[in-house]
């Protein structure tokens, strides 16, 4: 009788323990700038990711009721500080990190995650990259423990220059980029792809500037103006994008801007309506895209953050979270290695069309859009100009949709799997 009682009690304890494990929160560390010149970019991502995680949780979470929690860790835009934060993450037994702002930071994190996972089997960390687009991360530096959900710099330039090549009005182009791995990648790809597709286009200037340290871009703008350029290609982001565009506006610079990141996070507000018709962007989403299956999500997010005046910016972030949750359920496990294997090769019905996490190199293959910022339809802009960015009076309107095969680049990745 006593033995039966003990067995029953032991069984009940196991059941309670199992329920406790089932109820455990799955934590994801967000390692991005939450202070300094790029804090606005980091805060935007954190707000969107927490919002998305909460929506997933509201629908039942993952694995039959486990919740997702996003915890912010301030990288201060510094690779060394990001590594310090990674140590804190590992000490707290958090198995997932996400980051995107700064390929210099991402590169340091990839190397550190690789070392940690090799030395600590069974306690691995998985890196979900939503915006660091140095092409090497899915080529010679590819890692089983790293997945990129943004198109890399070469992929974006392939699509952008495919569209530019058809515009015979483009004659002279100036390049200006941040002086680190991503900026160098944009510069290299712009030169190579324009030379291949439009050898008649002249590169009339090529500048690299310190990242996050230039407070006055007027000397650079003066050089652009003197060069006679009719267009500028830049991969600048955050404050460096905002200040560059503002300096151009103040100097009356009459060029078209071909950008990666002029579509949000303060840049449209800084540009104002004077930039209408001049600023082009290559990205996976904007609010006025035709047949927008993300429209309800977009509107709900804007309403939720109306006081903060935040737009919905990272569709790729939503796709990342949707695929991450699906991978956990598919693997029937929250262990990083099992989730990584579930993510490999996954095809997902994204809001803008099917996307694929390419197994060979862990690069998401997705359609992209070239779009221009315009005045509203009421002020003479296109009829599609319905939703503006940041209340700036600038409305994104599609110039072209580039299908996923357009940007899908070959990879030199030789994946080493555990």
Q: What is the pLDDT of residues 238-283, one digit of tens each?
A: 889 989 988 998 999 999 999 999 987 788 888 888 789 999 999 9
Q: Smallest Cα–Cα separation from 396: which of 321, 315, 320?
A: 315
∠ CA 280-286-287, rounded to 5°: 130
Could you report the per-residue pLDDT of 121-156, keeping only the tens digit for each?
Answer: 999 999 999 999 999 999 999 999 999 999 999 999
Please report the DSSP string for 75-109 in residue order: -TT-HHHHHHHHHHHHHTT--EEEE-S-HHHHHHH
Q: Are 147 and 343 in contact (CB under 8 A)?
A: yes
DSSP 398: E
> Helices H, strands E: what count in the chain?
13, 15
Mean pLDDT of the chain: 93
User: What pLDDT is attached to residue 19?
Assistant: 41
Domains, the chain, ranges and CATH?
2-152+298-365 (3.40.50.2300), 154-289+368-407 (3.40.50.2300)
| DSSP bridge pairs for 99 | 129
Could you report the per-residue pLDDT of 353-395, keeping only the tens digit for each?
Answer: 999 999 999 999 999 999 999 999 889 999 999 999 999 999 9
Is residue 23 very low, low, confident or very high in pLDDT (cuts 50, 70, 90)?
Answer: low
Q: Are 69 and 95 in contact (CB under 8 A)?
A: no
> What's the rounded mean pLDDT across residues 314-329?
98
Q: Smallest Cα–Cα separation from 316: which of 280, 283, 289?
A: 283
pTM of structure: 0.92
């Amino acid at each position: 009788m006593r033995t039966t009682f003990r067995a029953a009690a032991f069984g009940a304890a196991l059941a309670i323990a199992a329920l406790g494990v089932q109820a455990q929160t799955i934590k994801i560390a967000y390692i991005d700038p939450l202070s300094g010149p790029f804090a606005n970019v980091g805060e935007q991502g954190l707000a969107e990711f927490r919002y998305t995680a909460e929506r997933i949780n509201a629908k039942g979470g993952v694995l039959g009721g486990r919740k997702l929690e996003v915890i912010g860790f301030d990288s201060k835009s510094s690779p060394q500080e990001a590594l310090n934060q990674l140590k804190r993450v590992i000490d707290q037994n958090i198995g997932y990190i996400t980051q995107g702002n700064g390929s210099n930071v991402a590169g340091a994190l990839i190397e550190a995650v690789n070392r940690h996972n090799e030395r600590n089997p069974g306690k691995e960390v998985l890196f979900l990259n939503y915006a660091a687009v140095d092409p090497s991360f899915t080529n010679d530096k590819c890692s089983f423990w790293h997945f990129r959900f943004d198109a890399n710099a070469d992929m974006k330039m392939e699509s952008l220059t495919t569209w530019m090549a058809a515009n015979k009005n483009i004659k002279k182009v100036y390049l200006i980029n941040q002086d680190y791995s991503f900026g160098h990648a944009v510069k290299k790809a712009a030169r190579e792809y324009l030379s291949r597709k439009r050898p008649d286009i002249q590169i009339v200037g090529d500048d690299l500037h310190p990242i996050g340290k230039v407070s006055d871009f007027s000397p650079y703008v003066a050089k652009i103006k003197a060069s006679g350029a009719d267009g500028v290609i830049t991969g600048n982001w955050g404050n460096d994008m905002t200040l560059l565009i503002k300096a151009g506006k103040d100097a009356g610079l009459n060029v078209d801007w071909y950008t990666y990141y002029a579509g949000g996070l303060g840049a449209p507000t800084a540009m104002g309506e004077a930039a209408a018709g001049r600023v082009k962007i290559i990205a996976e989403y904007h609010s006025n895209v035709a047949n927008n299956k993300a429209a309800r999500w977009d509107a709900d997010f804007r309403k939720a953050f109306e006081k903060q005046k935040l737009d919905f910016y990272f569709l790729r972030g939503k796709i990342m979270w949707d695929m991450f949750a699906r991978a956990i359920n598919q693997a029937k496990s929250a262990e990083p290695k099992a989730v990584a294997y579930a993510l490999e090769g996954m095809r997902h019905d994204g809001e803008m069309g099917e996307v694929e996490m390419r197994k060979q190199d862990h690069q998401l293959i997705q359609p992209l859009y070239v779009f221009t910022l315009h005045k509203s339809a009421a002020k003479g802009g296109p009829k599609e100009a319905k939703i503006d960015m940041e209340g700036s009076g600038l409305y994104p309107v599609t110039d072209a949709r580039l299908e996923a095969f357009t940007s899908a680049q070959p990879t030199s990745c030789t994946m080493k799997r555990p």
